């Protein structure tokens, strides 16, 4: 056991740093984190580095294959696919980047609360959650989107709401493990309020699980967003978006596969990157039940 001394503010920071170092030291973490950072940076800077205007159509060059001037060829309207792939993640990252923290926050809070309350109320509410989860997500979301429209202002709350529900389950399960421990009983016996117990005793111990869960939810949400766009309920044309691009190009897939391949590789690499990072994070935080150090 190493005994290090640090001020209280530093203890948290030091742990974050050491976890980060651990994540990067694992192959899955290094590759995953690289992919995620790569995509995020690209989404931020792409408007300034793209070679063409994403709207610029060219009737003379429709569905041409990859070549020196158009690295990934052109689509059925003669637009540069490479440009559109570079820009196509911006909406997805923006929407999911805002919706994921909201989902984890509200789902986490409700889950911790259920876990703390326990007993029959918790059982009944969890059965409601189960019933809700048993419905296909796409149906539930389509109902809301068809009712309220497809703008960002509808997509973000919709995704955040639906993706917060599975977080409830995870947060509740993690809380159940913590609630049974004596330090929570000690806080109860001292007479702390429920909110204090959640904030000081439960949240710090559930946070690790929530972070990993958040990363997983993010990748699912990206998939959902792309699916919605694919179905025409996400981003409206002509704004480039991976899901939409795949939908547009799939008709020509047999003779112009580059139109599909570009966005598919982009969205897959981002999702794989997030999953690999989540995996490494779980291992670094010790949530994953892998081998631990001896003694």
Residues lying near another protein in the complex (CB under 8 A) are found at 1-8, 11, 181-183, 185-192, 196, 200-201, 204-205, 291, 293-295
Contact 215, 274 (CB under 8 A): yes
Contact 220, 163 (CB under 8 A): yes
In whole angstroms, how close is the CB of 118 to another protein at the nearest point?
13
C-beta closer to another protein: residue 55 or 199: 199
In whole angstroms, how close is the CB of 72 to another protein at the nearest point?
47
C-beta closer to another protein: residue 59 or 182: 182
Instruction: Tell which residue, 102, 157, 156, 163, has the closest CA to residue 138.
Output: 163
Buried b (16+ CB within 10 A) or exposed e, 87-115: bbbbbbbebbebbbebbbebbbbbbbbbb
C-beta closer to another protein: residue 182 or 254: 182
C-beta closer to another protein: residue 38 or 183: 183
In whole angstroms, how close is the CB of 10 to another protein at the nearest point?
8
C-beta closer to another protein: residue 11 or 268: 11
Instruction: Count CA atoms within 13 Å of residue 158 on its CB side.
Output: 25
In whole angstroms, how close is the CB of 166 to another protein at the nearest point?
24
Contact 218, 93 (CB under 8 A): no
Tell me the CA distances in angstroms from 197 to 107, 117, 152, 169, 208, one per residue in order: 18, 12, 36, 19, 17
- Cα separation, 163 vs 107, whole angstroms: 8
C-beta closer to another protein: residue 206 or 276: 206
In whole angstroms, how close is the CB of 11 to another protein at the nearest point?
6
Provide the terminal-to-terminal Cα distance of the chain, rounded to the nearest Å. 10
Cα-to-chain-centroid distance, residue 175 = 22
C-beta closer to another protein: residue 181 or 250: 181
Residue 128, exposed/middle/buried by CB under 10 A (0-12, 13-18, 19+)? exposed
In whole angstroms, how close is the CB of 194 to another protein at the nearest point?
9
In whole angstroms, how close is the CB of 20 to another protein at the nearest point?
17
């Amino acid at each position: 056991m190493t005994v290090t001394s640090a001020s209280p503010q530093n203890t948290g920071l030091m742990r974050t740093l050491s976890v980060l170092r651990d994540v990067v030291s694992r192959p899955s973490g290094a590759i995953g984190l690289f992919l995620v950072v790569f995509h995020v940076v690209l989404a931020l800077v792409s408007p300034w580095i793209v070679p063409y205007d994403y709207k610029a159509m060219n009737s003379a060059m429709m569905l041409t294959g990859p070549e020196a001037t158009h690295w990934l060829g052109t689509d059925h309207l003669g637009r540069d696919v490479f440009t559109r792939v570079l820009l196509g993640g911006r909406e997805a990252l923006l929407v999911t980047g805002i919706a994921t923290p909201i989902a984890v926050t509200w789902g986490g809070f409700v889950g911790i609360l259920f876990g703390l309350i326990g007993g029959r109320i918790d059982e009944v509410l969890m059965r409601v959650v189960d019933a809700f989860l048993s419905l296909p997500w796409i149906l539930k979301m389509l109902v809301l989107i068809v009712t309220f429209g497809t703008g960002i202002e509808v997509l973000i709350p919709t995704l955040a709401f639906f993706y917060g529900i599975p977080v409830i389950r995870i947060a509740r399960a993690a809380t159940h493990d913590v609630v049974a421990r004596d330090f929570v009983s000690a806080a109860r016996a001292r007479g702390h309020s429920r909110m204090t117990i959640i904030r000081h005793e439960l949240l710090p111990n559930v946070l690790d699980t929530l972070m990993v869960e958040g990363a997983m939810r993010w990748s699912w949400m990206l998939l959902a967003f792309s699916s919605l766009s694919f179905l025409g309920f996400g981003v409206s044309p002509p704004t480039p978006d991976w899901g939409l691009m795949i939908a547009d190009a799939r008709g020509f897939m047999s003779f112009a596969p580059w139109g599909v391949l570009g966005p598919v590789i982009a969205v897959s690499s981002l999702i794989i990157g997030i999953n690999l990072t989540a995996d490494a994070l779980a291992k670094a935080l010790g949530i994953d039940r892998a081998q631990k150090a001896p003694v």
